[in-house]
Structure 1
Amino acid sequence: MAALPDSNNRKAYILALAAVLCWSTVASAFKLSLQYLSPLQLVTIAAVVSTLLMAMVVTHRHLWPELRQRWRQDYRWYLALGFCNPFLYYLVLFNAYDLLPAQQAQPLNYTWGVVLALLSVPLLGQRLRVVDVVAGLICYSGVLVIVTRGDPFGLHFESLTGVALALFSTFIWAGYWLLNTRVQGSAPVNLLLGFLCGLPWLLGVVLWQGNWQWPPLQGWLGAIYVGLFEMGIAFLLWQGALRACDNTARISNLIYLSPPISLVLIAWLVGETIHPATAVGLVLIMTGVAVQQGFARRLFRK
């Protein structure tokens, strides 16, 4: 297959870097927004915003006939997808951010790739490789360094509940992507159907709690930002980058820029002092993820 023109590769890198920058800001956006909103308010408003955005994308791309067809064929899977994302995943994740410093919650969330590989063994019948076990051990040693602030043998946690929620969110997110293997629709269609199925769960919990209070302007702005960029625009930018490039491996490796940029923004925007243990743990987590994805093997072959 012939290589794409350099202009397409440049476009791919620009789109990919824009997506990475979007994802790098969301940890700070989560933490700042939760100063004015409850986790339930944040996920509900953001989900509504993202649903409207994806509806516009589906309209622009004339995908409504495909959406109706996919729903008739796979509505049970979309109901499951909507329960996972946005309802359960973001509700759990935002509660974790509410209990933990952003510099702890954000790196823990990046272990979902290793969880995906481990869950693929019982759920998809894949073989457990030695590299998956090694990657898991490296990642979770990094998790232990971060949550104990460099004292892994002391086992003193700032919020054990927050740590449990952050790690639980990785299982939900990995499960969400495993469910995605069961549906065949285009990405915007799958995301819109999932959000349409997830919104009733969110609205049901809002009505059940019965104590919704009108958020301040800062809360609205934060939730709209999360809905647009975390749940919508970044995803579309990344999809466009993968379509435009001739080497998805090089584009995919750009995702490793997101965690360190995110830590810089957390220190700058949120005002958290980054603990040295966070940096060490993040390096371990990213190393484990790289090993699991075969990045290290490709590097040695080159």
Structure 2
Amino acid sequence: MSRATLAGLGAMLLWAFLGLLARMAAGVPPLQVTAMAMAVGGVVGLAVTARRGRLGRLRQPAAAWLHGVAGLAGYHSLYFAALALAPPVEANLVNYLWPLLIVLLSAPVLGLRLGPGHLVGTALGFAGCALLIGGGARFPPGAWPGLVCAATGAVVWASYSVLARRFSAVPTEAVTGFCLAASALTALLSLMFEPVVLPDARQAGAILLLGLGPVGGCFFLWDIGMKRGDPRLLGTMAYGIPVLSTLLLLAAGEGEPSSRVATAALLVATGGVVASWQRSDVKDP
């Protein structure tokens, strides 16, 4: 497995804490959370980029800026809105349809062939997610706007991730600029459409951790993974995120543990192993 693919896996581990930290920041409006967390990630990235003398790499074509800012701002705003409007465990799981979409989109968008192992691994991972979402999970009528946000966010992130391959010439340092621009955009929208909430100590701590990890540092790792790693393998192994993320939410009292979680974890892990075997069997054009 290449270092780039390992970087993508590191991003996944950070993302597993996204739902838990988002719930810890509950009470702060979604756009405001996005703006504040993105600001933290952007400032840290800017400091690292400046220290390395690479600020010039922030100059990128308009298309790259549109892709980066729209993807980062759009996905996270939708995700935080989903957790605010729907039961967090259900919304979190619906949102994690994006790994399936990455694997499937890699064929028509990038021209990468999907071998039997990718398809079987994806099917097993999807079965695990379906088992968690179905089989007794409850979806209150008032939760549907949040679930729609979760599903839309999945489409946005899968599209952003797969299209990142088209911008492989854009250096990872440019993500710093995308974070700062996304922060400014969502801050403006928050001022226009949301009440301003002063975070308490717990909320502020959660937002800080979001900016350092799943809404900051992970972007740089994910950018490396999607541009230089194997998007099919990353997309399939990403099925491990909803399982770990769900376990963290359950441990925090956000839902009821059940046998479905254990069975789904087995399906997800098996799917990742099967997909990883395929890597040496199917060659890209």
Question: What is the CA-CA distance between 1:237 and the residue it aligns to?
Answer: 7.1
- Structure ID, larger Rg: 1
How far, CA to CA, are the matches of 1:254 and 1:179 in structure 2? 19
Tell me which of 236, 240, 248 is aligned to 1:265: 248
Question: What is the CA-CA distance between 1:274 and the residue it aligns to?
Answer: 1.9
RMSD: 4.2
Q: Secondary structure at the match of 1:62?
A: coil
User: Does the Cα contact within 8 Å between 1:121 and 1:128 map onto a contact in 2?
Assistant: yes
- 2:170 maps to 1:185: yes
How far, CA to CA, are the matches of 1:166 and 1:146 in structure 2? 15
User: Does the Cα contact within 8 Å between 1:79 and 1:198 map onto a contact in 2?
Assistant: no
Q: Secondary structure at the match of 1:207?
A: helix
- 2:18 maps to 1:30: no
Could you say which residue in structure 1 is the equivalent of 2:150? 166
How far, CA to CA, are the matches of 1:256 and 1:138 in structure 2? 9
Q: Secondary structure at the match of 2:196?
A: coil
Could you say which residue in structure 1 is the equivalent of 2:179? 195
Question: What is the CA-CA distance between 1:265 and the residue it aligns to?
Answer: 3.0
Q: Secondary structure at the match of 2:166?
A: coil
How far, CA to CA, are the matches of 2:235 and 2:123 in structure 1? 23
Q: Secondary structure at the match of 2:215?
A: helix
User: Does the Cα contact within 8 Å between 2:57 and 2:173 map onto a contact in 1?
Assistant: no
Q: Deviations over 1:6-53 (max 9, x none)?
A: xxx9xxx9x99986664443321111212x312122111111111111
Question: What is the CA-CA distance between 1:140 and the residue it aligns to?
Answer: 3.6
Q: Deviations over 1:138-190 (max 9, x none)?
A: 34433332223x249xxx5343443333232222111112232232132132x
How far, CA to CA, are the matches of 2:102 and 2:9 in structure 1? 24
Q: Deviations over 1:237-273 (max 9, x none)?
A: 78999xxxxxxxxx99997775555444323334533
Q: Deviations over 1:97-137 (max 9, x none)?
A: 22444443444444423211222333334456555554454
In structure 2, give the amino acid aligned to 1:208: M
- 2:102 maps to 1:121: no
In structure 2, give the amino acid aligned to 1:104: E
User: Does the Cα contact within 8 Å between 1:113 and 1:289 map onto a contact in 2?
Assistant: no
- 2:62 maps to 1:75: yes
Number of residue pairs matched? 274
Structure-2 change in CA distance of 1:120 and 1:255 (3 Å): closer
Could you say which residue in structure 2 is the equivalent of 1:175? 159
Could you say which residue in structure 1 is the equivalent of 2:131? 145
Residues 172-181 or 203-212, more deviating = 203-212
User: Does the Cα contact within 8 Å between 1:77 and 1:179 map onto a contact in 2?
Assistant: no
Q: Secondary structure at the match of 2:256?
A: coil
User: Does the Cα contact within 8 Å between 2:103 and 2:235 map onto a contact in 1?
Assistant: no
Tell me which of 87, 91, 94 is aligned to 2:80: 94
Tell me which of 221, 228, 231 is aligned to 2:205: 221
How much identity, in percent, do the aligned residues show? 23
Structure-2 change in CA distance of 1:88 and 1:267 (3 Å): same
How far, CA to CA, are the matches of 1:253 and 1:128 in structure 2? 11
Tell me which of 37, 43, 46 is aligned to 2:34: 43
How far, CA to CA, are the matches of 2:101 and 2:236 in structure 1? 19
> TM-score of the superposition, structure 2-length normalised?
0.75
